[in-house]
Structure 1
Amino acid sequence: MGALMRATDWSKTRLGPVENWPSSLKTMLGVVLGSRFPMMIWWGSELLQLYNDAYRPILRHKHPASLAQPGAQCWAEVWDEAGPLVRSIQEGRPATWMEDWQLFISSDEMAEETYFTSSYSPVRGDDGSVAGVLNTVQETTVKVQSERQIRMLHDLARRVADAKSEHEACLIAVDVLAANALDLPFVLVYGMDQSAQSATLVASHGWKQIDGQPVAAQVPINDQANTQDWPFAAVMQSAQEVTVDNLSARFGPMPMGRWNARTEQAIVLPLYGTGQAAPSAFFVAGISPHRKLDERYRAFFLATADQVANAMVKARALEEEKLRAEALAEIDRAKTAFFSNVSHEFRTPLTLILGSIEDTLARHKPLGGDELDMVHRNGIRLLRLVNSLLDFTRIEAGRLPLSFVPTDLSRSTSELASAFDSLVEQADMRLIIHCPPLPEPVYVDPAQWEKIVLNLVSNAFKFTLKGEIEVSLHWHGTYAQLRVRDTGVGIPAHELPYIFDRFHRVEHSQGRSFEGSGLGLAMVQDLVNLHGGTVHAASVEGEGTTFFVAVPAGTAHLPADRIVQTPVAATRPTSASALVLEAAQWSASSHRSGIPAAPPSGRAIDSKMDRQAVSAAGRILLADDNRDMREYLLRLLRPFWEVEAVGDGRTALASALHHPPDLILSDVMMPGLDGFALLRALRAESRTSTIPVILLSARAGEEAMLEGLDYGADDYLAKPFTTQELIARVRTHLTMAATRNALNEELVRANRELEAFSHSVAHDLRTPLNSIDGFTSILLMQQGETLDIEARRLLEDVLQAAKGMRQMIDDLLTLARVGRAELRRDTVDLSDLTRKVIDVLQRQEPGRRIQFKLMPGLTTEGDPGLLRTALDNLIGNAWKYSSKRQESVIEFGATKANGEVAYYVRDNGAGFDMKYAHKLFAAFQRLHSEKEFPGTGIGLATVHRIISRHGGRIWADAAEGQGATFYFTLP
């Protein structure tokens, strides 16, 4: 533009030769041409236009004819709106500001929909009067249109979610789209017929009829070009959208739109179902006569069509739900058969494995006997789980072999419960067995009664850490009742209805172990039901639980073909040893917080991996409630690193806080504090927040891994895993942690240097400022009376500018210091701090009439120095922005907001428009002019940083001319 202006013969324009231009115009034009922000000057009574390069895109095709052209001529199509604003500035009224101003400007033979954020300010001539108007403007068309379209797409996704059918989804979608007439003058949705030879109108808006003819209800689809209908055949062939021009020639005169223009273009898009190669429907939308079909507009149509297609797919899925439910039922039946077969197949190799190990251990203690003991214990446990799974699938399929025989239930129950005698005694608890003789035998299946009793007693032992377990049996005339009572952790009331559900576990329950299939109590319930009985539980959290099992007397409730009349004497339990052995592992887990040093494993490990592992030195904290797993991991890790092993999450947390390790290896499922809760607690503490954590879990698959990583774990390892994989991951994270710590130390050093630099720069800036301030003050004192009014005013402006610069430096240093200062946590009396701030302000302006309302006794936890800085700024702002009131009112108090305490500072001052609230807490953002209310624009940014560092939130509520209220929370 500078080059163009230099090449212009201005003597032939209304502005005349450049040498005759006022100096104020030349000065202002230099500012405009040097700016990269869109700016234009309207000069003189005709408002002749001069502008910079950044303004040229706003003019569209009007440039270069618009140079030195009168504003009313250049902007004739919008002058009814813009003209009065410009004239008001010429007449001496205050500057104006318009945000997201809608204007339809001429562009390429259309009235283009545009939006601008614009200001109009006076430009003084050489004589001091208003000689011109400065227009600074930013086009916001893209922002406004994008926000409008995003709101529409959001409403569309929300509304169609409730559609029950495909047709209803189309109707709802079109109803939502109808609200956006600026982007979608009309909308039609056609569904493909079964024959794929035609498409039928499903829903429409904005086009009832054209020239008296209704919109086509059915459109044939063929390969021949048809200029009288929508080109659905072309859309199917190209598999992409097709633009249709000159709608009036195809369908007759189009209706006049809201802004006096006819829609002459439309876009036709295919709608696809899930996995379909051909479209199942078509989306037809009018193209606004006020917008060009550019890539952004085209992308909007594509996104809208995708949303409509997704809505139709989801609705269609609901209609198909019944068929899917029937298919799932068949799959469930197949699943039951599969588990039954797999369980049978597991039993054979397990029997061979256990038999061989037992023979070897019985003959002699072989080399590596400890490892064989561990294999044997876990083999028995696996066999028991397989048997439980087999029983479960048999019960579910109704194929569990049962034989109900008359049984001495008292003796049988006593024998079964006494299997836990020594184990309970070792755990420093008491086992009470009270089973007096019953008046008659009870018909039960002995093998299944054994499972009922053993599951309930082992469950009681698992969740009882001290006190006693009581097993009793009583006769109630028509039924015998088994009662298993414990003094354990109890069951929360909200969990009690679900304890017999399959695979249900009580979350965060404190027990001896978190291991288990989640089938035990569900199987107990199923077995009791097969006996014609009932089972229920009563519990008080923290006091204990009692299970009641009622078995009816006689045989009337039992299937006749399953009753065996020969009495069966009580026998030694056949599966008690497996349950007792497993329970013994829980006992060891819950009473041992650490494990002594284990000898190095005899397992051969690759020498290269050995050297790499040793090179990544560090200390590891291992947490797992399974004793065998802890010993196994110790044997793997101790040859390379120092390892501390603990049996539960609480002990692991205490150890990590007392002596932070270099890495934590934790099981996910542990009693008391599980792996996820441990991870959250570690991340909440500054000393342990950066320690790498690897989670171990029996849950495999991508979903389980992502869940672990979402909780903040550095890595996730699913069981079973190989030795090489475990050691490689541990070594990698230890190496990364060492590197990260070194980088953190370097960052701390760099921050110290930056802090020193900022203070040095501040000092260097203050020195010349002090000189400017001092010498200007001396000049005013010594020569002030000899200077004219204008000279004195200019010197006073220099003093004021120096003061503002000094304040800016102080505020910037405060903002930087807030981000670096170490955060203290003390008890702070906010009411007292506020009173001190007010005292300082009153001493500075003793004559100010102001009313303070201060709520006493408001205390919190936080950093006293930083909170004083925050209140200095908030109370200072209230003081400043209420200064033009005859009587100012400032309040400080507290209220409830969303269930938390929110402190507030309220004034009756200038306030502000809430649409600018998002700018409040950014540095250098001001909502009032410098002349009206001086300031640096940094204070609220400093307050925001202080509140954020305390973990709180800050927001504001205000209205122009009615004051403002700032709220903040301090957790």
Structure 2
Amino acid sequence: MTTRDELFPGTDATSTAHREFDWSSTSLGPVESWPDALVTAIRTLFPSEVGQLVWWGEDLVQLFNHAYTPMAGDLFPEAVGQRAADCWRVGWDQLGPLAHDALRGTAVHRTEQRLLLDRFGYLEETFFTFSYSPILGSGDTVNGVLVATTDVTQQVLAERRMSVLHQLGSISVASRDIDDVCRASLDLLAGNEADVPFASIHLRTTHDAELGEIRPVASTSATLPGRPHTATTVDRDVIDRVSASGVGETVDTTAVVLPLHASSGRPVGVLVAGISALRRFDEPYRVFLDLVAGRISTALTDAYSYAAERRRARQLEELDAAKTRFFENVSHEFRTPLTLLLGPLGDVVDDQENPLPPHRVRSLQTARRAALRLQRLVDTLLDVARGDADGFVVSLEPTDLVSLTADCASMFRDATARAGVELHLALDGVTHRFAEMDRTMWTHVVMNLVSNAVKFTTAGSVTVSLRDDEDTVTLTVTDTGPGVPDADRAKIFDRFYQVAAVAGRSREGSGVGLSLVRDLVAALHGTIDVSAGPDGTGSTFTVRLPRTVASAPPASDATTHEVAEALGAGYIGEADTWRPLDGVRTDPTPDQRQVVLVEDNADMRDYLVGLLREQNWHVTMFADVDSAMAHARAHPPDVVVSDIMLPGRSGLSLVDEARSDGRLVRVPIVLLSARAGSESVVEGLRLGADDYVTKPFQPAELVARIRVHLELARLREQLLGSAQREVSSLRTALDSRSVLSQAVGLLMVTQRMSPEAAFDHIATMSQAANVKARVIAEQLVREFVEELGSDPVG
């Protein structure tokens, strides 16, 4: 016979409740009368750390260990000794059949079984993993059920919620607008109605958190027991308050309103998420809904960014179209005045019957070259704009590649001869000289590459070669210039990119030439690349194009020559402005002001020289900063006039270096530049320039400004010279006063004279000897020193 104290000896609350319970009030009767099978089962389960219970007898009276008590919740301690059907009346429709299967001798096992239980005063969604095992009594009959169970509710909820968060995080914004992202998010939540029975998203009508009104975007709802509440019943004031403050609020434990962010600023809307009636709104539940709002916010951030990118893309397309229209209109508008410039200029320059004086012809030739350069610039910009907008239309026709290439390159012979650069043509490597080619595109490619090579080659040679094989024609243009630095080689074909601090004949250019070449080559289905020479200097541009042999030769070579001449005129006009300096240096006359002029464009340089020499100023010309600075240090000028955009170092570098040189620190510097705007002016003046003149300028204005700075410099030097003379006189006076004071002091000590008597004595000696008082004073001091030296104190 076993007593209650022996069967339930523990001190925990569960053992105590079982020990104090009146078992005689149940069908089991007093503990002392319990069968051995039941006692054995109790002694097995009570020490176990796994939650276990026993249902015994026809009434399935309930006993359980302390590990099971937390699973009973608020049903403990009343659950002790209760009939199982009474204790678990909520959920017995699922548990009862399993228990009866065990009573019939069938073991039952369930994993993560969903049960709706009432353990804490409300209908609760739970998940348990358990096994039901029959307990055999006498005669191998089943008298009870042993239940081993584990509450896996939190684990199942965590996995279920993590799956929802993962799906929310994988929402793609591609081809979705902002509303679509909201609907997709709510569609995912609709599949998890156990955690989010209803939901809605409300967004501002604009992304501007200050201006946009809140509007409902999408919602989802599900009907669950005990929860008739829906998203539409959430007070609008709560939605507005959360969207303004960014702080979530809980509405009557039925819903939570959480802010949605699409950036680091104020919320762009709110998520109204229903709270399940089958779960307590505890901290894990709140964290889950916060993460849901966070994932939706992330998707909205991507959606807003995607929408912004699409808006920017549309704006860029519109801007690109507007830019193309602008360039086309400007090009057409420019071509009319250019035609009216080039035509009359050509007529006057080439008029042999009524020749003009040579200096007038030179001026008109300069104007003609400038007009040709402007024409090429306009055409290049128009080609770039057309290529960006619609692409290039390739028009293939039979072309003599050798003749066209030779014509294009040969147009630079005069420019290279003047510059002392050799131009070599290696066109013998072509086996089939006739090919289907767009002549205009090929001419632009050849002339742009050759022009670029000549521009940056100050000594050596430029070589143009052409060769082919079965299906490819290869053009290479090699120069012995400074080369392209490694860091710039990958960007050399980018639009508007120019290599900085590379010496050449000029820094002028729009930065679109090589990018246009790249686009033209791409339109012809070819490739272009650049490489350096073996020693890192020089550049080789290589163009490879697929070649289709022409079925017939060109109808006439005249067309080829006309294309080269028509398109090459602008290139040659530009090349003519790279003429080298003549190297002639003359000495200024004593009455001439000395001007150092730094300008790389030969036409502009000639124009400025003529303008300045008309003022009887002596002008020394340079095309780069280093040469100009070397001359200025050796022969400091009265004024320096320098362009800013120069090959190698810029005019700003000249200003900075001059202001650090004691010989040039006060020399006025006037900068010239085609760059307008306050930033350029401020940069030049900040470094110490005295004036800044923007091209185009009025000749009289430039001369007047230079003259003002010359006069200011002259006045400044006069004032400084006067000040230096005054300082010298003062120093002499102080020196004289010092010697007289010493002599007066000696007479006062040696002759015991008063100061007035001593000074009168020196004045009398000065008059008698007819010498200055300072000389008498020096003599007295010298004699005293000599006497003191010959009679030292013993």
Structure 1-normalised TM-score?
A: 0.42
1:358 alignment counterpart:
346
Distance between the aligned counterparts of 1:765 and 1:326, measured in 2?
Answer: 91
Which secondary structure state, in structure 2, belongs to the residue aligned with residue 671 of structure 1?
coil
Give the alignment of 1:553-592 within 5 angstroms.
Answer: 553-554=547-548, 567=554, 569-570=556-557, 571-572=560-561, 573-574=564-565, 575-586=567-578, 588=579, 590-592=580-582
- Structure 1 residue matching 2:483: 3-state secondary structure: coil
Distance 2:724 2:305 in 1: 58
> Which residue is 1:548 aligned to?
542
Distance 2:245 2:586 in 1: 75
Does residue 1:677 correspond to 2:623, yes or no? no
Report sequence identity in percent.
Answer: 37
Deviation by residue 1:157-183 (Cα, 9 ceiling, x = unmatched)? xxxxxxxxxxxxxxxxxxxxxxxxxxx
Alignment partners' CA distance in 1, 2:662 and 2:519: 50
Determine if contact 2:592/2:618 at 8 Å carries over to the other structure: no
Q: CA distance change for structure 1 residues 485 and 740 in 2, over 3 Å: closer, same or farther?
A: same
Structure 2 Cα separation of the partners of residues 390 and 433 of structure 1: 31
Q: What is the distance in 2 between the residues matched to 1:515 and 1:193?
A: 49
Letter in 2 for 1:717: V
Question: How far apart are residue 474 of structure 1 and its match?
Answer: 1.5
Q: Which moved more, 1:741-750 or 1:490-499?
A: 741-750
Deviation at 1:336, TM superposition (A): 2.0
SS of the residue aligned with 1:738?
helix
Cα distance, 1:623 vs structure 2? 1.4
Which structure 1 segments of 5+ residues have no match? 1-190, 206-216, 219-272, 274-316, 556-562, 599-615, 767-971
**Aligned pairs (5 A) from 1:644-659:** 644-648=619-623, 649-659=625-635
1:515 to 1:354, Cα distance in 2 relative to 1, 3 A: same
1:703 aligns with 2:679: yes
- 1:428-447 superposed matches below 5 A: 428-436=420-428, 437-439=430-432, 441-447=434-440
What's the CA shift for 1:667? 0.8
Read off the aligned partner of 2:315 and give its amino acid letter. A
1:892-911 map, 5 Å: none
* SS of 2:670 mapped into structure 1: strand
SS in 1 for 2:706: helix
The residue aligned with 1:626 is 601
Q: State the partner residue of 2:508.
A: 515
The 1:418/1:195 distance shift into structure 2, 3 A limit, reads closer
Letter in 2 for 1:529: A
Distance 1:480 1:719 in 2: 44
**C-alpha displacement of 1:569:** 5.0
Larger radius of gyration: 2
Q: 1:459 to 1:202 in 2, by over 3 A?
A: same
Q: Which amino acid aligns with 1:548?
A: T
Deviation readout 1:452-509 (Å, 9 max, x if unpaired): 1111111111111222221111223331111111111111111111111122211111
Residue 426 (structure 2) pairs with residue 448 (structure 1) = no
Could you tell me which of 607, 615, 628 is aligned with 1:640?
615
Q: CA offsets, 1:788-812, max 9 Å, x none?
A: xxxxxxxxxxxxxxxxxxxxxxxxx
Q: Distance in 2 between matches of 1:431 and 1:193?
A: 67
Give the CA deviation at 1:379.
1.5
Contact 2:612 2:619 in 1 (8 A): no
What letter matches 2:319 in structure 1? I
Is the 1:480–1:550 Cα contact (8 Å) retained in structure 2?
A: yes
> Residue 955 of structure 1 aligns with which residue?
none
1:391 to 2:379 alignment: no
Q: For the structure 1 residues 754 and 193, does the alpha-carbon distance in structure 2 shift closer, same or farther, using more than 3 Å as the test?
A: farther
State the one-letter code of the partner of 2:456: F
- What is the CA–CA distance in structure 2 between the aligned matches of 1:527 and 1:596, rounded to whole Å? 49
- What is the alpha-carbon root mean square deviation over aligned residues? 4.0
Tell me by how many angstroms 1:402 deviates. 3.0
Q: How far does the alpha carbon of each residue in 1:864-920 deviate from its partner, in whole angstroms, 9 at most, with x for none? A: xxxxxxxxxxxxxxxxxxxxxxxxxxxxxxxxxxxxxxxxxxxxxxxxxxxxxxxxx
- Displacement of 1:645 after TM fit? 3.3
Which residue of 2 is the match for residue 476 of structure 1?
469
**Does 1:427 pair with 2:444?**
no
Structure 2 residue aligned with 1:730: 706
Distance of aligned partners of 1:479 and 1:650 in 2 relative to their CA distance in 1, 3 Å threshold: same
Aligned to 1:233: none
In structure 2, the partner of 1:342 is: 330
Q: Is the 8 A contact 1:448 1:527 kept in 2?
A: yes
1:593 and 1:647 in contact (8 A); partners too: no
- Pick from 643, 653, 676 the counterpart of residue 667 of structure 1: 643
After superposition, the Cα gap between the structure-2 partners of 1:549 and 1:684, relative to the gap in structure 1 and judged at 3 Å, is: same
Alpha-carbon deviation of 1:526?
Answer: 0.9
Distance 1:478 1:387, change over 3 A: same
2:367 to 375, 378, 385: 375
8 Å contact 2:400–2:553 — kept in the other structure?
A: no
Secondary structure in structure 2 of the residue aligned to 1:551: strand
1:232-283 CA-partner distances (Å, limit 9, x unpaired): xxxxxxxxxxxxxxxxxxxxxxxxxxxxxxxxxxxxxxxxx9xxxxxxxxxx
Residues 734 and 425 of structure 1, relative CA distance in 2, 3 Å threshold: closer
Given the superposition, is the C-alpha separation of residues 420 and 324 from structure 1 closer, same or farther in structure 2, using an over 3 Å criterion? closer
Structure 1 pair 596–763 and aligned structure 2 pair: CA distance change class (3 A): closer
- The residue identity in structure 2 corresponding to 1:434 is A
**Conservation of the 8 A alpha-carbon contact between 1:594 and 1:647:** no
Contact 2:596 2:620 in 1 (8 A): yes
> Residues 745 and 479 of structure 1: is their aligned pair in 2 closer, same or farther, counting only changes over 3 Å?
same
AA in 2 matched with 1:721: F
Q: What are the residue-to-residue correspondences of 1:191-340 with 2, within 5 Å?
A: 322=309, 323=311, 326-340=314-328
Distance 1:396 1:760, change over 3 A: farther
Q: Give the secondary-structure state (helix, strand or coil) at the position aligned to 2:667.
A: coil
Matched ranges for 1:73-152 at <5 A:
none
Is 2:500 the counterpart of 1:500? no
SS at match of 1:498: coil
Task: Please state how far the C-alpha of 1:519 moved relative to its aligned partner.
Answer: 1.7
- Aligned-partner Cα distance in 2 for 1:342–1:595: 44
Between the aligned partners of 2:603 and 2:421, the Cα distance in structure 1 is 24
Question: Please, which moves more after superposition, 341-350 or 533-542?
Answer: 533-542
Task: Note the residue ranges of structure 2 that are not aligned, 5 or more in a row.
Answer: 1-208, 215-236, 248-257, 260-264, 266-303, 743-794
Equivalences for residues 181-200 of structure 1 within 5 A = none
Secondary structure of the equivalent of 2:487? coil
Contact 1:622 1:665 in 2 (8 A): yes
Distance in 1 of aligned mates of 2:551 and 2:585:
52
Report the Cα distance in structure 2 between the residues aligned to 1:372 and 1:624, rounded to whole angstroms: 20
User: What is the DSSP-based 3-state SS (H/G/I as helix, E as strand, rest coil) of the residue aligned with 1:435?
Assistant: strand
Matched to 2:611, the amino acid is L
TM-score, length-scaled by structure 2:
0.50
Q: Secondary structure of the residue that 1:407 maps to in structure 2?
A: strand
Secondary structure at the aligned position of 1:684 is classed as: coil
1:907 alignment partner in structure 2: none
Contact map agreement 1:663 1:693 (CA 8 A) in 2: yes
CA distance in 2, matches of 1:764, 1:530: 95
SS at match of 1:532: coil
CA distance in 2, matches of 1:500, 1:362: 39
Amino acid in structure 1 at the alignment position of 2:355 = K
Q: 1:657 to 1:318 in 2, by over 3 A?
A: farther
> Residue type of the partner of 2:605?
R
Deviations 1:671-700 (A, max 9, x none): 233212222221221101221111101111
Give the Cα separation in 2 of the matches to 1:362 and 1:720. Answer: 27
AA in 1 matched with 2:612:
L
* TM-superposition CA deviations, 1:582-613 (whole Å, max 9, x none): 32331x2x343458899xxxxxxxxxxxxxxx
CA distance in 1 between partners of 2:497 and 2:551 (Å): 35
